[in-house]
C-alpha cells in the first residue's frame, strides 16, 4: 500500500465505533482529494443499503440516497451485487450506464464506488467517493490504494449481521472545515465594491458581506444560517438552487442572472470548495436577456433551459415505464423529446436480415424514410455507430460529411445526434435526432441525450420482448382455434374471433362446431380464466376434452361434467366458462347446458330475440363433483342462435345482466341477412374501442329456411 495510511481494526468494544468510522471517512476524502465521501451499510437481510455517514453531499442528494435497494440499477447497488469497483469518470459515462440516475442527478462528477468485504468474504456495505469530472481516465493508483485500504478497514469496524432500518433514519453528516466567521476576513471583504457570501455544503449562509446584503435587498443578520432560496422569495425558483447543487457536486464554477426586488439585474458566480461555495454577486449587464438561468452562455440560445429539459426527461422516464409496445415507446419519445430539445425529426432504426429497417419516425418525409428503409448495411453513420455502440453528435453537415464522406442528407437537416439503443449488453437499434439548423451540443446536452438513449433502449427492449411474447401467445391461441368449421347440411355457421388490443394480454376464448350425426351438431363457446400463454394452452386442452366426450355420445350436461373433472386435475387454479348446445335439425330442437357462461341469444322467425334460459352451473374446474342441468329449446327452421364471450358485453362499471339485455334488444337479423354481415355488426362497435382488455369470440348459427 506504499505510504497510504492504514488504520488497524479497533479492539473489542464498539463504543467509539462511529467515531473511528468517521475518522476513516474524513481521512479517505482528504487523502484521495475527493470532495464527497459516503458510507453505505447493508440492512434488512441484505435487501437495502443504508447511508450511514457522509461528508460533502448536499441535502437533496442525501435524501435521495438514504436508502438504496440492492436490486436497483444504480452504481452503488451494482458495486455491492457484483462485488467490484464501479468507476464513472463523468456524466456521459453515468448516462450510458445508469440513465435514470443521470437524469435524477444531472451534474458532472467522477464517481468511484467500492464494496466493503470483510476477511470472511462477506459484503458489509459500500464506500462512494466523488471528484470533479475526469473524462477518459480512471482514478490514479494512489486514489485506488486509499479506497481499497479504507474499504478493508471499514469492513472490519462496521457492525456485523443484518440491521433493520430505523424509522426516520438519517445519516451522520461529517464536517471537514468549521464555518468561516473571522471578523477580520469579513471586514476585508466589506471593503470590496462587489458582494460576497459563503454557503456551506447544505446551502446555508455562513458569511454575507455588506455590499452583498445591499444587492440582495436583505438584512445580513436575518439571512445567516438560512438558505437563500428559502429566505428570499425572488430566489425561490428551483433553477437557482440547481446551480448551487451543480457547483457543489461537480466542483465547477456555475453562473446565473436574475433581478432583485428593485428590478436590478444581478449576476451570481458560484465558486465551489470542499466546505461549500463562495458566491460573487455583481450588477449584471445582461438585463436585455430575460432568461434567468445561463449555465452555458454559448449554448443558451440553442437549447431550452436545462431544468425544463430535465422535467420533460423525468416525465418521459415515468411514462415510458408504462409503455408496453414498441409503437407506444416511439410515440412517447417523439411527443416529449422533440419539443423539449427543439428537434425537428426523429427516427428509430433497427436491422433485419442485413438491411436497415425504419421502425418508426416523426418529422421525416416519406422520401427520407425510403432512403434508409431496406438499404443494405454499410458504413453510413447509423449502421457504423450502431455497431460501435457509442453515441455521436454532429453540429452541422460539414462535420458529419468530414467524418462520413458517404453520409446521406435527408430533408435538409443540418445537425444530428445518433443514440445507440443498448440494453443488457445488446444494441437493438439507433435513435436519430435531427435539427433543421446547425446546433452546438454542449457537454450537458450530450449527457442528457445519452441518458435519453439509455431510457429509450430499456423501454424499447422491454416492449420488443413483450411484443414477441404477445405475438407468440396470439399465434398459439389462433393455432388452437379451428381453422375451418365442418359443413352441415341445413345449418349455416359463421365464427369471428377478435384478439385483445395489442399491448393487452391475451385471453383464452374458444369456440367450436362438432358434427355428431348426419343431422345433429354441437355448438361450443367458452373462456379460460387468465390472460397469458397458460390460458391459451389450457384452452386447447378444454376444446380437445369437449370434442372427445361429445363424439363419444355424451349429452350436453355429461360433456361438461366429464370436462370439469378433467380440469380440476389439470389446472386446479384455473376456471373456465363454457356454453354447450346440441342442435338436432331433424327434430327442430336444441339441448343447452352452461358452466357459468353468458347465455345464448335466439331469434325465431316472426318473434323478437330472447335470451336462452338455462341453469348456469359452476365454472369448469371448481368442484369435480358438479352436475350440469340441461334445458330443451325449440329451434324451428330459420332460427338464428348467437353464442359469444363476455368480451363482447363487459363494460367496466356496467351491470352484465343489463348488458346482455341490451345485446338481445339489438339482435334483429333479417331472414336474408348474411351471417357474415350480422357478425360484423355485432363486433364492429367493440372493435372500434381503442383499448380492449379482453378477447371476443362470436359463433352464429342459422337453421335452413323451410
Query: What local confidence, expressed as pLDDT, does residue 193 receive?
Result: 80
- Asked if 226 and 205 touch (Cβ cutoff 8 Å), the reply is yes
Per-10-residue mean pLDDT, the chain, length 706? 44 60 89 90 86 84 82 90 91 81 80 91 92 76 88 85 70 69 64 85 87 89 88 86 86 88 90 87 65 38 43 62 72 77 85 77 86 68 63 91 83 90 75 91 82 81 73 68 86 87 61 93 89 74 90 93 89 86 94 94 92 88 91 94 90 80 89 90 77 80 86
Q: What is the DSSP letter of 291?
A: -
User: Measuring CA to CA, how many Å separate 694 from each of 19, 497, 676?
Assistant: 61, 11, 22
The confidence score (pLDDT) of residue 531 equals 66
Secondary structure in 3-state letters for 81-149: HHCCCEEECCHHHHHHHCHHHHHHCCCCCEEEEEEEECCCCCEEEEEEEEECCCCCCCCCHHHHHHHHH
Q: Which pLDDT does position 381 carry in this prediction? A: 65
> Rounded to whole angstroms, how far apart are CA atoms 103 and 101?
5
Would you state the torsion angle of the CA atoms of residues 358, 361, 363, 365, taken in this order, to the nearest 10 degrees? 30
Place of cell 366458462: 577
C-alpha cell at 657: 345482466
| Spatial separation of the C-alpha atoms in residues 210 and 228, rounded to whole Å | 15
Model-level pTM? Answer: 0.51
Residue 589 φ/ψ, nearest 5 degrees? -130, 155
Amino acid at each position: 500500500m506504499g505510504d497510504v495510511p492504514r488504520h488497524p481494526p479497533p479492539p473489542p468494544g464498539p463504543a467509539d465505533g462511529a467515531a473511528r468510522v468517521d475518522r476513516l471517512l474524513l481521512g479517505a476524502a482528504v487523502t484521495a482529494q475527493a470532495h464527497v465521501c459516503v458510507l453505505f451499510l447493508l440492512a434488512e437481510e441484505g435487501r437495502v443499503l443504508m447511508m450511514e455517514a457522509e461528508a460533502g453531499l448536499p441535502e437533496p442528494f442525501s435524501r435521495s440516497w438514504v436508502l438504496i435497494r440492492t436490486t436497483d440499477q444504480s452504481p452503488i447497488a451494482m458495486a455491492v451485487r457484483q462485488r467490484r469497483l464501479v468507476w464513472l469518470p463523468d456524466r456521459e459515462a453515468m448516462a450510458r450506464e445508469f440513465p435514470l440516475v443521470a437524469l435524477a442527478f444531472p451534474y458532472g462528477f467522477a464517481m468511484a464506488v467500492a464494496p466493503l468485504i470483510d476477511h470472511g468474504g462477506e459484503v458489509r456495505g459500500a464506500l462512494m467517493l466523488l471528484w470533479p469530472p475526469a473524462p477518459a481516465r480512471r482514478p490514479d493508483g494512489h486514489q485506488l490504494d486509499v479506497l481499497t485500504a479504507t474499504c478493508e478497514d471499514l469492513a472490519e469496524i462496521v457492525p456485523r449481521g443484518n440491521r433493520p432500518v430505523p424509522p426516520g433514519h438519517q445519516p451522520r453528516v461529517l464536517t471537514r472545515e468549521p464555518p468561516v466567521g473571522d471578523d477580520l476576513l469579513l471586514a476585508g471583504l466589506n471593503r470590496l465594491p462587489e458582494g460576497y457570501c459563503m454557503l456551506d455544503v447544505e446551502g446555508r449562509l455562513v458569511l454575507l458581506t455588506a455590499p452583498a446584503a445591499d444587492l440582495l435587498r436583505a438584512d445580513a443578520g436575518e439571512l445567516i444560517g438560512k438558505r437563500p432560496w428559502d429566505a428570499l422569495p425572488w430566489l425561490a425558483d428551483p433553477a437557482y438552487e440547481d446551480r448551487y447543487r451543480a457547483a457543489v457536486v461537480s466542483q465547477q464554477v456555475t453562473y446565473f442572472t436574475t433581478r432583485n426586488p428593485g428590478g436590478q439585474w444581478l449576476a451570481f458566480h458560484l465558486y465551489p470548495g470542499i466546505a461549500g461555495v463562495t458566491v460573487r454577486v455583481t450588477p449584471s449587464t445582461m438585463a436585455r436577456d430575460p432568461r434567468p438561468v445561463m449555465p452555458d452562455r454559448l449554448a443558451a440560445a440553442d437549447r431550452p433551459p436545462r431544468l425544463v429539459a430535465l422535467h420533460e426527461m423525468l416525465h418521459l422516464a415515468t411514462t415510458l415505464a408504462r409503455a408496453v409496445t414498441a409503437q407506444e415507446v416511439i410515440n412517447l419519445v417523439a411527443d416529449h423529446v422533440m419539443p423539449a430539445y427543439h428537434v425537428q425529426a426523429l427516427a428509430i432504426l433497427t436491422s433485419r436480415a442485413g438491411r436497415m429497417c425504419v421502425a418508426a419516425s416523426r418529422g421525416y418525409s416519406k422520401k427520407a424514410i425510403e432512403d434508409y428503409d431496406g438499404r443494405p448495411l454499410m458504413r453510413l453513420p447509423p449502421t457504423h455507430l450502431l455497431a460501435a455502440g457509442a453515441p455521436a453528435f454532429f453540429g452541422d453537415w460539414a462535420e458529419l460529411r468530414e467524418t462520413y464522406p458517404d453520409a446521406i442528407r435527408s430533408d435538409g437537416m443540418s445537425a444530428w445526434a445518433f443514440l445507440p439503443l443498448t440494453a443488457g449488453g445488446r444494441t437493438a437499434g439507433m435513435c436519430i435526432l435531427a435539427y433543421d439548423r446547425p446546433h452546438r451540443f454542449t457537454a450537458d446536452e450530450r449527457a442528457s441525450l445519452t441518458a435519453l438513449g439509455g431510457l429509450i433502449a430499456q423501454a424499447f427492449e422491454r416492449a420488443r420482448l413483450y411484443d414477441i411474447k404477445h405475438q407468440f401467445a396470439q399465434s398459439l391461441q389462433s393455432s388452437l382455434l379451428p381453422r375451418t368449421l365442418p359443413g352441415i347440411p341445413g345449418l349455416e355457421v359463421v365464427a369471428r374471433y377478435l384478439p385483445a388490443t395489442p399491448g393487452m394480454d391475451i385471453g383464452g376464448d374458444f369456440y367450436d362446431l362438432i358434427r355428431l350425426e348426419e343431422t345433429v351438431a354441437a355448438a361450443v363457446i367458452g373462456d379460460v380464466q387468465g390472460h397469458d400463454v397458460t390460458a391459451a394452452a389450457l384452452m386447447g386442452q378444454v376444446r380437445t376434452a369437449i370434442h372427445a366426450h361429445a363424439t363419444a355420445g355424451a349429452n350436453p350436461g355429461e360433456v361438461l361434467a366429464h370436462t370439469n373433472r378433467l380440469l380440476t386435475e389439470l389446472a386446479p387454479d384455473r376456471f373456465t366458462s363454457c356454453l354447450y348446445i346440441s342442435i338436432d335439425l331433424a327434430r327442430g330442437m336444441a339441448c343447452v347446458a352452461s358452466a357459468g357462461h353468458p347465455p345464448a341469444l335466439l331469434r325465431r322467425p316472426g318473434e323478437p330475440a330472447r335470451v336462452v334460459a338455462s341453469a348456469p352451473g359452476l365454472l369448469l374446474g371448481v368442484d369435480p363433483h358438479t352436475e350440469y342441468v340441461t334445458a330443451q329449446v325449440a329451434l324451428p327452421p330459420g332460427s338464428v342462435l348467437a353464442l359469444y364471450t363476455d368480451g363482447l358485453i363487459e363494460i367496466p362499471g356496467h351491470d352484465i345482466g343489463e348488458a346482455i339485455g341490451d345485446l338481445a334488444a339489438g339482435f334483429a337479423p333479417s331472414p336474408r341477412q348474411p351471417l357474415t354481415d350480422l357478425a360484423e355488426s355485432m363486433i364492429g362497435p367493440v372493435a372500434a374501442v381503442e383499448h380492449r382488455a379482453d378477447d371476443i369470440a362470436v359463433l352464429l348459427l342459422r337453421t335452413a329456411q323451410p
